[in-house]
């Protein structure tokens, strides 16, 4: 399609290709600006489910006006293929930026803060993203984070109360398959993995997993099969971030732990609550991104929940101090001596 004209857009180059779309750089000939055009892949263009998701993405994102959500300009069609015209972003996805290595602590906090603000705005509008992951967070060259891909977004008001959230799908590269659970397996909340009704706390869990990956360079729940990943999400506690990256301060570890609590009633109840704690922690960072003040802070609660081990052996009794054993022996000898003296005295009187 390079060089072709689509409506009032001139296609310049292909920027990327994924499971749910092909993205091109184009020039808006009316407004004389560059935009990104996203088309459905040919194999999905005629699939009703893919078309519904594509349209849902455009409508959900277009309903939100936030500096950290990619702006949607319009939705159109060319030769039977629907497309979305959106804001052109220069930079790379957070997944590419992490690349298996931890990011600086200050940068990780900044990105999490921006995403939390965007999620708070979406949730306030009754929209749950349901697929927050590093690949759906774009970071511009100036460090601005933008949430992408609202294709799995769901209006909270649209779902009947108590209804399950439907089938789930996941990306190939993240152990997901058509017909199971909506979202990407490695970043699902426990309630999402169970197919339960969702609210904004599911996105908060996913953001907690993203923050974990930013500061450690690793996914919190990884595995070679979907079953292994699901088991981790539902039943396991991941390794403490500070054990992987010694630069992670206890207060940041506590924020991650609260965000990924398996019981959603124990998580942050709103993204804005998580943002408050992140903002407080960010104030303690210096210009280089080190969190020196936070690392020295002390609180009663542990920074990371310890994993419970089934059938753990009871603790061994404490050894009796040597001094206590000597005292007991001396007391026993004294009793014997007193008893012998008493017997002798009684015999003398007799």
Do β-strands 145-147 and 91-93 pair in parallel, antiparallel, or remain unpaired?
unpaired
- Residue among 28, 131, 165, 171 flagged as catalytic: 131
Counting residues of the chain whose pLDDT is more than 90, the rounded percentage is 53
Main-chain phi, psi angles of 58, to 5 degrees = -65, -45
Averaged pLDDT, 76-83: 85
pLDDT band at residue 155 under the 50/70/90 scheme: low
Determine whether 171 is an active site residue. no
Q: For the residues 206-212, what does the mean pLDDT come to?
A: 98
- pTM value is 0.76
Q: Indicate the fold that domain 5-87 takes in CATH.
A: Phosphorylase Kinase; domain 1 (3.30.200)
The CATH homologous superfamily to which domain 91-295 belongs is: Transferase(Phosphotransferase) domain 1 (1.10.510.10)
| pLDDT at res. 142 | 92
Least confident of 93-107, 162-176, 274-288: 162-176
Each domain of the chain, given as residue ranges in start order, spans 5-87, 91-295
Output the pLDDT for position 1.
84
Confidence of residue 340 (pLDDT cuts 50, 70, 90): low
In this structure, what token pair is assigned to residue 94?
């957070």
Burial (Cβ within 10 Å: 0-12, 13-18, ≥19) of residue 245: middle
Using alpha carbons, select from 160, 176, 138, 169 the residue that is nearest to residue 61. Answer: 138
Q: Looking at the predicted structure, is the pLDDT value of residue 88 above 90?
A: yes
DSSP code for 265: G
State pLDDT tens for residues 281-313: 998 875 455 655 444 444 445 678 865 434 334
Among the listed residues 60, 69, 57, the one whose alpha carbon sits nearest the alpha carbon of residue 18: 57
């Amino acid at each position: 399609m390079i060089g072709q004209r689509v409506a009032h857009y001139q296609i310049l180059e292909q920027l990327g290709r994924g499971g749910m779309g092909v993205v091109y750089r184009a020039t808006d000939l009316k407004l004389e600006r560059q935009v990104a055009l996203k088309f459905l892949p040919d194999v999905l263009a005629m699939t009703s489910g893919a078309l519904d998701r594509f349209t849902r993405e455009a409508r959900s994102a277009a309903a939100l006006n936030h500096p950290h959500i990619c702006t949607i300009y319009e939705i159109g069609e060319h030769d039977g293929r629907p497309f979305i015209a959106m804001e052109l972003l220069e930079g790379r996805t957070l997944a590419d930026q992490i690349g298996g290595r931890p990011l600086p602590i200050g940068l990780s906090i900044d990105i999490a803060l921006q995403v939390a603000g965007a999620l708070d705005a979406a949730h306030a509008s009754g929209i749950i993203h349901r697929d927050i992951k590093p690949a759906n967070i774009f970071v511009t060259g100036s460090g601005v984070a933008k949430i992408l891909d609202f294709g799995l977004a769901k209006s909270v008001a649209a779902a009947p109360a108590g209804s399950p959230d439907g089938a789930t799908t996941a990306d190939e590269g993240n152990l997901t398959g058509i017909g199971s659970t909506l979202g990407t397996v490695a970043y699902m909340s426990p309630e999402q993995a169970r197919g339960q009704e969702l609210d904004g706390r599911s996105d908060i869990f996913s953001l907690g997993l993203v923050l974990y990956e930013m500061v450690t360079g690793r996914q919190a729940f990884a595995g070679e099969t979907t079953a292994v990943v699901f088991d981790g999400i539902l039943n396991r506690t991941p390794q403490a971030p500070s054990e992987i990256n010694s630069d992670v301060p206890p207060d940041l570890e506590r924020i991650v732990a609260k965000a990924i609590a398996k019981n959603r009633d124990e998580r942050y109840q709103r993204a804005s609550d998580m943002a408050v704690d992140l903002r407080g922690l960010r104030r303690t960072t210096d210009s280089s991104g080190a969190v020196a003040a936070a690392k020295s802070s002390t609180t009663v609660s542990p920074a990371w929940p310890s994993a419970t081990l089934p059938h753990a052996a009871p603790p061994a009794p404490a050894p009796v101090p040597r001094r206590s054993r000597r005292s007991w022996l001396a007391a026993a000898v004294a009793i014997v001596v007193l008893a012998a003296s008493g017997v002798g005295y009684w015999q003398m009187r007799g």
